[in-house]
Structure 1
Amino acid sequence: MRILLYTPNFLPELTGSGKYNGELAEWLVRRGHQVDVITAHPYYPQWQVHKEYRNKLWLIERKGLLTIRRTPLYVPKKPTGTTRMLHELSFAFNSLPYWIGALFRKYDILISVCPPMQVGLLPYLYSTFKRTPFVFHIQDLQVDAARTLGLIKNKTLLSLLSKVENFLLQNASVVSSISEGMREVILGKNVKPERYFMLPNWVDTDFIQPLPQKDTLRSMFGFKLDDIVVLYAGNLGEKQGVEGLLTVVENMAHDSRVKFVINGDGALREALVTEAKRRGLSNVYFSRGVSYQQLPQLLAMATIHLVIQKKGMSNLVLPSKLTSIMAAGGAAIVTAEPNSTLANELITNRLTIVVPPEDPQALENSIRILIDSPSLEDFQTNARRYAIDNFNQDMILDKFETLLFDLILDNSVS
């Protein structure tokens, strides 16, 4: 197959959709397919263009069957609803030269990855003009999330964005997403079940796996082997709602056994660091992230993992970090609304403790309970087994590859 992937997020970004987009492209290339990518210079999660790409304009990178066409884009220092829209529009506008070039090439199939939602418009136009199947893959439901979080308050604008989203959902050859909760929301937007495909995020369970504590990154932080490490690793942005975590850290400051680590970057990082200093919290450690090669050692050092989201997010986004935590055999506490699809799946399979979002007291209580609970090892064992059974990369992408072949065959017949 000759495939065109369109997304602003791609490797070397190691968190969020950029990681999965890059791994998808590399997997398809290993299968012998030619993959062209139209993307931006990497900027996430720091919201700052990576050092090696700064001051560069349009750039083409070639790696065998993989061609990456990068474009500059506006990256706001402090993302808001308005600046995010400008950021996304700048990517669409600056990528136009590559789309003009694409008109002179023949692709078998197009894949665009949301967010941003508008990323589906140019692939739709191309697919219509060239009669090429178009897969609209959704990593999170951006318009619903913006409405829930209040990132966009203008009702007219929200209505317009919803109409554009619905248009793309109705006109893509296939709509895919990563969780059952998102599937329910998407089908509720009048997408027919036969046009939906489940494409969950995957994890390399051979690379990320449980490790002895002596082989983890505890020594890098100065922790003892018997310290209780509570780890939040991931994006520090609006959807996560990690602000309340500092209240938990403060309330547990008297317990010298417990060390909190906040590992990651994002729009709220500096505010969290400043607030922790203001409160004089000596039991919390901030780090900006580790290399991908160190990820197994980072995850394995945690006694307890925290997966935190704001209210209303449980069926709109699925924390990508959760699959890696499970692969590492991690015991996690996850914030999710009661009876949401995410909460029900985690509880039914005894994978984690689930607490209500934006409730620091419930989060603190769960940490205290889990520290000394005999269920800690059960959660670790169950999580590792579930990751192996459900998140294997080859198993997931084999099915996706079959879908792509079927779409191409159906298109050629019609």
Structure 2
Amino acid sequence: MRILIHGINYAPELTGIGKYTGEMAEWLAQQGHDVHVLTALPYYPEWMVHEGYQGKKWHTETLNNVKVHRVPLYVPKKVSSASRIIHEFSFLLSTIPFWIKAIFSKKFDVVFCIAPPFHLAFFPWIYKSLRGSVWINHVQDLQVDAAKDLGMIRNKTLLKAMFGLERFFLLRGNRVSTISMGMQDKILKKGVAVEKMLFFPNWVDSEVVFPLPKEESLRLEMGFSAADKIVLYSGNLGEKQGLDAVIKVASRFKTDKTVKFVICGSGGGKDKLVQLAKQHQLSNVFFFPLQPYEKLSALLAMADLHLVLQKSSAADLVMPSKLTGILAAGGCALVTADQGTTLYDVMHDFQMGILVAPEHDDELERGIRRGLFEDTTVFKQHARDYAKRYLEKEHILQKFEQDVEALFLSNKIT
């Protein structure tokens, strides 16, 4: 098949949607498909165009047998709701030359469009209408719901228009895929027929991410001792996670010199967190940049407890991608999730970690103490078993390829 993957994030971004899109595209290319990607210059999660791409405009490069068509975009120095909207629309506008050329060039059999941002579906809709290609909308985050529930956008007229446009695109694709059953339920409530849904969860390569002993972790490299009890958060430092709570709770561990809070990552909320730690005069909170993927197992192995935090209002609107790596590494995770959400049900049913209510500092503190000072061996074993059984990269991508090929063949017949 000739496949076009359209999304704002792509490799070499180390975390979030770009990581999964990059792995998917390269895997499909390895299966012999002609894979193209239309994406932006890499900028995430630092919100700064990566070294080696600064100053570049429209260009095409080949990465691991994938033709990557990159376009420039506006990257705000300070991320806000308004600047993010401008950022996303600048990318949409920058893709116009590609789409004009694509309409009059060799046809793509399948267009796989990744949200967020949801409005990227505009040009795939036009392309499908003109060329008859299979068009799949893949939802990694329910962006408009999250913007509303997190209070990022409060204008009712704007929200109504965004929900309407989102629904318009979702209903017109051949299929809608998403990464969790909770998000699938919400998409069905938007009017998408159940037979148009595909379940396409995020994955982990358990041959790349696996348990390591603490002696082989990054503890010494990062300046920590074997006796330290490390609470680790690694990933995007954004608004959905509610990471202010980590700083507040860390202040309650000031007297225990062995407990260290390690935050690895970048994002729009990092400066605020650093300032908050300074205000509380915390010497037990340490900030590091994201580590390369090849060091992920060693990074995760240094932690006694992993934090997977989300605000209550983000429940079932986003599925934390960092959790897959933690499970594959056999780590004990402390997860904030409300009862009734997919995340809560999975963690509870498979007994893979410690569950606490979101945005509740006292419960968070109790959960951290439990994770650091009680036996978590069972949680760690269950985590690794779950990852090998349900999150294995090869199995998930093979199933996805079969679904897309069946859709492509049925589209050819009709």
Gaps of 5+ in 1: none
After superposition, the Cα gap between the structure-2 partners of 1:259 and 1:86, relative to the gap in structure 1 and judged at 3 Å, is same
Give the CA deviation at 1:64.
6.3
In the alignment, structure 1 residue 149 sits paired with structure 2 residue 125: no
In the alignment, structure 1 residue 244 sits paired with structure 2 residue 239: no
Distance 1:217 1:22 in 2: 26
Secondary structure, in 3 states, of the residue corresponding to 2:314?
coil
1:121-270 matched pairs, under 5 angstroms: 121-270=122-271
* Corresponding residue number in structure 1 for 2:101: 101
Letter in 2 for 1:48: M
* Corresponding residue number in structure 2 for 1:74: 74
Distance 1:21 1:43 in 2: 15
Distance 2:124 2:327 in 1: 34
Instruction: Spell out, residue by residue over 1:119-159, the C-alpha distance to the aligned partner (whole angstroms, 9 max, x if none).
Output: 11111110111011101000010000000011111111110
Contact 2:304–2:371 under 8 Å retained in 1: no
Distance 1:319 1:369 in 2: 22
After superposition, the Cα gap between the structure-2 partners of 1:37 and 1:232, relative to the gap in structure 1 and judged at 3 Å, is same
In the alignment, structure 1 residue 32 sits paired with structure 2 residue 32: yes
Instruction: Spell out, residue by residue over 1:38-84, the C-alpha distance to the aligned partner (whole angstroms, 9 max, x if none).
Output: 10000111111112111111111024641101000011111111111
TM-score (norm 2): 0.98
* Corresponding residue number in structure 2 for 1:277: 278
CA RMSD of aligned residues (A): 1.0
Contact 1:309–1:335 under 8 Å retained in 2: yes
Distance 2:62 2:371 in 1: 48
Which stretch shows the higher mean deviation, 100-109 or 211-220?
100-109
Distance 1:251 1:63 in 2: 47
Distance 2:384 2:65 in 1: 34
After superposition, the Cα gap between the structure-2 partners of 1:369 and 1:138, relative to the gap in structure 1 and judged at 3 Å, is same
Give the CA deviation at 1:221.
2.1
* Corresponding residue number in structure 2 for 1:11: 11
Distance 1:221 1:255 in 2: 20
Give the CA deviation at 1:314.
1.8
* Corresponding residue number in structure 2 for 1:408: 408
Distance 1:279 1:297 in 2: 30
* Corresponding residue number in structure 1 for 2:61: 61
Secondary structure, in 3 states, of the residue corresponding to 2:52?
helix
Contact 1:235–1:265 under 8 Å retained in 2: yes
Gaps of 5+ in 2: none
Letter in 2 for 1:61: E
Letter in 2 for 1:201: N
Contact 1:143–1:162 under 8 Å retained in 2: yes
Letter in 2 for 1:345: V
After superposition, the Cα gap between the structure-2 partners of 1:243 and 1:121, relative to the gap in structure 1 and judged at 3 Å, is same
1:37-56 matched pairs, under 5 angstroms: 37-56=37-56
Secondary structure, in 3 states, of the residue corresponding to 1:52?
coil
Secondary structure, in 3 states, of the residue corresponding to 1:51?
coil
Distance 1:357 1:119 in 2: 31
Indicate the percent of aligned positions where both proteins have the same amino acid: 44
Distance 1:386 1:209 in 2: 13
Contact 1:46–1:265 under 8 Å retained in 2: yes
Contact 2:43–2:49 under 8 Å retained in 1: yes
* Corresponding residue number in structure 2 for 1:362: 363
Contact 1:312–1:337 under 8 Å retained in 2: no
After superposition, the Cα gap between the structure-2 partners of 1:276 and 1:158, relative to the gap in structure 1 and judged at 3 Å, is same
Distance 2:332 2:263 in 1: 16
Letter in 1 for 2:208: F
Give the CA deviation at 1:26.
0.2
Secondary structure, in 3 states, of the residue corresponding to 2:35?
strand
1:108-123 matched pairs, under 5 angstroms: 108-123=109-124
* Corresponding residue number in structure 1 for 2:393: 393
Distance 1:220 1:250 in 2: 25
TM-score (norm 1): 0.98
Contact 2:209–2:328 under 8 Å retained in 1: yes
Give the CA deviation at 1:372.
2.1
* Corresponding residue number in structure 1 for 2:383: 383
* Corresponding residue number in structure 1 for 2:90: 90
Distance 2:24 2:295 in 1: 21
Contact 1:33–1:65 under 8 Å retained in 2: no
Distance 2:65 2:238 in 1: 35
Distance 2:187 2:124 in 1: 20
Contact 2:26–2:65 under 8 Å retained in 1: no
Give the CA deviation at 1:370.
2.2
